[in-house]
Amino acid sequence: MKFWLCLFALGATAFAQVPRSNHVWVITEENHSYESVIGNPSMPYYNALAKKYALSTQYYSPMHNSLAALMWLVAGQMVTADNNTTTCWNVDNVVRHLRAQGLTWKSYQRDLPYPGFQGLFSGDYVRRHNPIIDFTDSCAASQVMNSVPFTQLATDIRNHSTPNYAYVTPNLDEDAHDGSLPEADDWLAQNLPQILALPEFKPGGDGLMFIVWDEADLATDNRCSSQIKSGCGGRIATLVIGPQVKPHYKSSTLYSHANLLRTVCDSMVFSSCPGAGTIAAPMADFFNTVNIITPKPDAAVTSPVRVQATTVNSSPVYAMQVYVDDKLKYRANGASLNASVPLTAGKHRLVVQSWDTAGGIHKSGVFVTAQQAAVQISSPNANAVVASPVSIRATGSGGNGIQSMHAYVDGVHHYQTSGSTLNTSLVMVPGQHSVMVEARTAAGTITQRTVRVTVSKPIITVKSPAPNANVYSPVAVSVTTQNPHTFEDVQVLLDEQVRYEITGTGVNAAVPMPLGKHFMTVRGRDSAGAIYIRGFTINVLPVKVSVSAPTPSSTVGSPVHVHASVPNESTVFTIQVYVDNTLKYQKNSKTIDTFLSMGPGKHFIVAQAWDNGGGVWKTGVNVEVK
């Protein structure tokens, strides 16, 4: 059974943007729930930061297991649950994007014995808390030395050589994994001030810091959200710190590690984002922002250029300024701006800056190219998803006066009007289209501007699982959406109960599900409040652990040949062998084949498999050893 339902649809807005940053810091703590740290009198420094800066009150870890949870911060997916891995994984990650952007990175690790150390542990350092080094990009000979002892930070600060992206891990005592919360608080109090004293964390700077816990309390907290009580890594406290962050702010929006990763990607202007960061929404509500309405990024303009900008700010904005190539060109009082700014011919960096009553300085910038004649398209935006008919609005300027404006779709002329302004709507079939607006002067000069758009009705596409599929828990759920009104959150329901939810435009997650046949529903809500639903039946199977050797009740010689396997489609990542309730062998695989020494007599051999959701599956056989 399948169905598609639109409950209602209205107007829309897109996700808000986050300010750009070339100085991002991610500091991780370990294994404590939100309620254990927020308001805890034994953590005065941490709670002072939470009050001074911003706190995410509905932030949940995607899963338990240190390395697997931390991988979501740098890769947007689990990658591996093997805490003893030394593999360099060829998986998309932040280092790949930093290198592509020409940006620098370092991992500052307490108790790391020397730069580039690849071992599993040394003193109170453990590799599983340093996920950023587990990728082919960071394992490369030119990059491996970027994982450094924490003591290197003081030198880098003194030499003004801190990186664009820093991943920081205290040791096992100082991150509260083995030590106490007061120890963790003391380490932060001793070490964060030197970072927050950097120029990028002064008013007007672009410094951005996250202090995030990998997962909540292992024994008691498996929450996924306020309404999903099990199946994830629990509720954790996440602090967002920086001069562009709203002071004294508490966010009640549902967030997880994928949202933090997306925020990093957007702030550092990556061309894309790893893993689930592609579909997660950025944590945009944390920031004071300046929004430049016109000109658009990389626009061709004529002089003087019209500059329109507004602000979203937690404190009153009393002044706004326009800078061109770092030179002040215009100033106005108030929280919005509409000005004409002269430009010389060529490419320029145009920045609009706001000043608020709390001392905050916030800014946004675009590159523009000034030329004799230009077309500016205000609608649709480049690469937008739009509904048909498509609104096309544009202006032409320069060239000794614009006589007419023309609109083309995929190279075909569809509309024209006299004057320098075009405002029309054109019907387009679903799919990708090229929209070109052309301005013509009386002298025959032609100036053009082109944007690409995708015309679509609201669509929820469930890539996996397939309808009526036989699957294993946790079920790999992959969902994408397309909508002229951006999807703001997506839920996965099983028999009308919410099992997973994300603030974002899709799903890329392993969702725990009970055995048996179920009706799975994906429900998306867009920015206009419209709800769209897609659903079908699936069948969740138990994992069968097959033991082909030794055979039940057989008489065998020592060493005993043990061969066991699980279905390749299952989510099992390791198999263990117990002999008479004692662990004798373990391998991270879906198949094991080994020989185990056993004394004469009767023995009970159990092959036990663990899946990625923490499920345990086992099969046992009795044998007699001669």
pLDDT averaged over every residue in the chain? 94
Q: According to the model, what pLDDT value does residue 614 have?
A: 83
pLDDT, tens digit, 9 for 90 and up, residues 264-323: 999 999 999 999 999 999 999 999 999 999 999 999 999 999 999 999 999 999 999 999
Q: Is the pLDDT of residue 75 over 90?
A: yes
pLDDT, tens digit, 9 for 90 and up, residues 528-552: 899 999 999 999 999 999 999 999 9
Q: According to the model, what pLDDT value does residue 457 have?
A: 87
Distance CA 333, CA 141 (A): 53
369, with CB counted inside 10 A (0-12, 13-18, 19+), is: middle
Q: How confident is the model at residue 398 (pLDDT cuts 50, 70, 90)?
A: confident
Average pLDDT over residues 11-30: 81
Q: What are phi and psi of 431, to 5 degrees?
A: 130, -175
Q: According to the model, what pLDDT value does residue 486 have?
A: 87
Lowest mean pLDDT among 10-19, 330-339, 607-616: 10-19
Q: According to the model, what pLDDT value does residue 16 have?
A: 67
Handedness of CA 104, 187, 191, 361 (dihedral sign): positive
Amino acid at 500: Y
Beta bridge partners of 526: 487
Q: Is the pLDDT of residue 8 over 60?
A: no
- At residue 507's C-alpha, the angle toward residues 75 and 470, to 5°, is 110
Q: 327 by DSSP, 3-state: which?
A: strand
Beta bridge partners of 440: 404, 446
Average pLDDT over residues 389-403: 90
Q: What are phi and psi of 499, to 5 degrees?
A: -110, -20
Q: What are phi and psi of 448, to 5 degrees?
A: -130, 155
Q: Is the pLDDT of residue 356 over 50?
A: yes
- Residue 513 neighbours by CB under 8 Å, 6+ apart: 471, 473, 474, 475, 494, 499, 538, 540
- Number of alpha helices (DSSP H) and beta strands (DSSP E) in the chain: 8, 43
User: Which helix (H) or strand (E) is 161 found in, with range?
Assistant: none
Q: Is the pLDDT of residue 400 over 90?
A: no
Q: According to the model, what pLDDT value does residue 3 have?
A: 30
Distance CA 582, CA 556 (A): 19
Handedness of CA 485, 491, 494, 497 (dihedral sign): negative
pLDDT, tens digit, 9 for 90 and up, residues 109-135: 999 999 999 999 999 999 999 999 999
- Residue 181 neighbours by CB under 8 Å, 6+ apart: 32, 36, 37, 40, 42, 43
Q: According to the model, what pLDDT value does residue 113 have?
A: 98
CATH, range 289-371: 2.60.40.10
Intrachain domains 23-286 and 546-625 with the same fold: no
Are the beta carbons of 494 and 539 closer than 8 angstroms? no
Q: 594 by DSSP, 3-state: which?
A: strand
Distance CA 458, CA 490 (A): 13
Domain boundaries, the chain: 23-286, 289-371, 374-455, 459-541, 546-625
Q: Is the pLDDT of residue 6 over 70?
A: no
- Single out the residue of 457, 452, 468 nearest to residue 430, CA to CA: 457
Distance CA 155, CA 98 (A): 22
pLDDT, tens digit, 9 for 90 and up, residues 434-460: 999 999 998 888 999 999 999 998 899
CATH class of 459-541: mainly beta
- Single out the residue of 449, 410, 407 nearest to residue 429, CA to CA: 410
Count CA atoms closer than 13 A to 172's CA, side-chain side: 11
Q: Where are the beta strands (DSSP E) in 542-600?
A: 546-549, 554-556, 560-565, 572-579, 582-587, 591-596
Assigned fold of 546-625: Immunoglobulin-like (2.60.40)
CATH class of 374-455: mainly beta
Q: According to the model, what pLDDT value does residue 379 have?
A: 93
DSSP classification of residue 557: P
Distance CA 407, CA 415 (A): 5
Q: 378 by DSSP, 3-state: which?
A: strand
Distance CA 562, CA 545 (A): 13
Q: According to the model, what pLDDT value does residue 613 have?
A: 82
Q: How confident is the model at residue 10 (pLDDT cuts 50, 70, 90)?
A: very low
Q: What are phi and psi of 163, to 5 degrees?
A: -80, 175
- Single out the residue of 24, 21, 42 nearest to residue 32, CA to CA: 42
pLDDT, tens digit, 9 for 90 and up, residues 462-483: 999 999 999 999 999 999 998 8
Q: According to the model, what pLDDT value does residue 12 have?
A: 33
Distance CA 345, CA 340 (A): 15
Q: Is the pLDDT of residue 14 over 70?
A: no
Superfamily of segment(s) 23-286: Alkaline Phosphatase, subunit A (3.40.720.10)
Count CA atoms closer than 13 A to 220's CA, side-chain side: 7
Are the beta carbons of 59 and 215 closer than 8 angstroms? no
Q: According to the model, what pLDDT value does residue 223 have?
A: 96
Beta bridge partners of 564: 547, 592
Q: According to the model, what pLDDT value does residue 15 have?
A: 56
| Alpha-carbon distances, residue 245 vs 115, 427, 623 (angstroms) | 33, 42, 65
With tokens 């609005």, the residue in question is: 393
Count of Cβ atoms closer than 10 Å to residue 9 Cβ = 18
